[in-house]
């Protein structure tokens, strides 16, 4: 069964239609990458899945349930943003556990889950530090930790590596792929970077001007690009 489906999803901001009838099925455990040029609607589509934007029309299901009108907190998703959005005055442990604190979970449960999450992300030695005492890669891991601790059905990443330098980006690509292999959760990852798309994805969704140009595995897109746009985009990595 599909973990996530979008049927004819459209989104307009005033007179400007930015998502123009997107159909998509994401299988449970799949790593799907949305790729396309700046302004093509990647973030908007991700925010629609997260429930941070409503749709103008169309429907959305997660785990077989219609969530078109569901609140973000009811969707079983967690989002990792490009700007790490960590709380500067809180320690790593407090940042990771913040969502559970808000939900008023018992302190012992929060401590145990923070410890397990830190272990998964190799942050155990850094739990008492403040974000300003962390490297870019470590901050990104904390941001991922805040998502993992909620045990979401679907992870959403919006250009999580674009603030990192090239060598760290390469390392974090491997870390996120490794995390996906271990957690086996469904992940949707937005990037404008062809290399990230080609190396990380089970399935790539190529977006252009709010329209899906092609959906397929990296190899399918490379071998059989459906349009000149896909050929140009996939064929000319930066
Ligand atoms: P991407 O993430 O692919 O760069 P976005 O989804 O951020 O693209 O934006 C797609 C289009 O929607 C752009 O033209 C952008 O200016 C427009 N847009 C995004 N959010 C809003 C908003 N809140 N109000 C008006 N226009 C918006
Ligand atoms: Mg964006």
ipTM of this complex prediction, to 2 decimal places: 0.98
Ligand 2 centre to CA of 113 (Å) is 31
Ligand 2 centre to CA of 158 (Å) is 7
Q: Is the dihedral of CA 58, 73, 188, 196 positive or negative?
A: positive
Ligand 1 centre to CA of 215 (Å) is 21
Distance (Å) of CA 65 to CA 68, 109, 190, 195: 9, 29, 24, 34
Contacts of 179 by beta carbon, 8 Å cutoff, 6+ apart:
120, 121, 144, 148
Which ligand 1 atom lies nearest to the CA of residue 159?
2
Which ligand 1 atom lies nearest to the CA of residue 44?
6
Per-residue model confidence (pLDDT) at position 54 = 95
**CB atoms < 10 A from the CB of 77, how many?**
23
Residue whose CA is at the smallest distance from ligand 1 atom 14: 39
Per-residue model confidence (pLDDT) at position 83 = 62
How far apart are alpha carbons 97 and 153 in whole angstroms? 18
Residue whose CA is at the smallest distance from ligand 1 atom 13: 39
CB 79 within 8 Å of CB 156: yes
Per-residue model confidence (pLDDT) at position 61 = 97
Ligand at minimal distance from the CA of 83 is 2
Question: Could you tell me the pTM of the whole model?
Answer: 0.92
Per-residue model confidence (pLDDT) at position 237 = 45
Per-residue model confidence (pLDDT) at position 125 = 97
Ligand 2 centre to CA of 88 (Å) is 24
Got the DSSP string for the chain? Answer: -EEEEEEEEEEEETTEEEEEEEEEEEETT-EEEEE--TTSSHHHHHHHHHTSS--SEEEEEETTEE-TT--GGGTTEEEE-SS----TTS-HHHHHHHHHHHTT--HHHHHHHHHHHHHHTT-GGGTTS-GGGS-HHHHHHHHHHHHHTT--SEEEEESTTTTS-HHHHHHHHHHHHHHHHHH--EEEEEES-HHHHHHH-SEEEEEETTEEEEEE-HHHHHHS-SSHHHHHHHH---
Q: Which residue stretches of the chain have pLDDT < 50?
A: 237-238
Measured from CB, residues less than 6 Å from any atom of ligand 1 are: 13, 18, 36, 38-44
Ligand 1 centre to CA of 89 (Å) is 31
């Amino acid at each position: 069964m599909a973990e996530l489906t979008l049927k004819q999803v459209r989104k307009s901001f005033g007179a400007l239609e930015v998502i123009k009838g997107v159909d998509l099925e994401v299988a449970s455990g799949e790593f799907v990458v949305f790729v396309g040029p700046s302004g093509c609607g990647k973030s908007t589509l991700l925010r629609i899945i997260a429930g941070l934007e409503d749709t103008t029309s169309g429907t959305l299901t997660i785990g077989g349930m219609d969530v078109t009108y569901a609140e973000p907190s009811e969707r079983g998703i967690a989002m990792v943003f490009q700007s790490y959005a960590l709380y500067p005055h809180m320690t790593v442990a407090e940042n990771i556990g913040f969502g559970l604190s808000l939900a008023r979970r018992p302190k012992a449960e929060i401590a145990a889950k923070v410890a397990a999450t830190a272990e998964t992300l190799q942050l155990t030695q850094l739990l008492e530090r403040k974000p300003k005492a962390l490297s870019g890669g470590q901050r990104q891991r904390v941001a991922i930790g805040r998502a993992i601790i909620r045990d979401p059905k679907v992870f959403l990443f919006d250009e999580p590596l674009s603030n990192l330098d090239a060598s760290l980006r390469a390392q974090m690509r491997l870390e996120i792929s490794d995390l996906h292999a271990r957690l086996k959760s469904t992940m949707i990852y937005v990037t404008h970077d062809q290399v990230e798309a080609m190396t990380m994805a089970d399935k790539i969704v190529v977006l252009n001007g709010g329209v899906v140009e092609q959906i397929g595995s990296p190899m399918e897109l490379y071998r059989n690009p459906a349009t000149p746009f896909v050929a140009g985009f996939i064929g000319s990595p930066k």
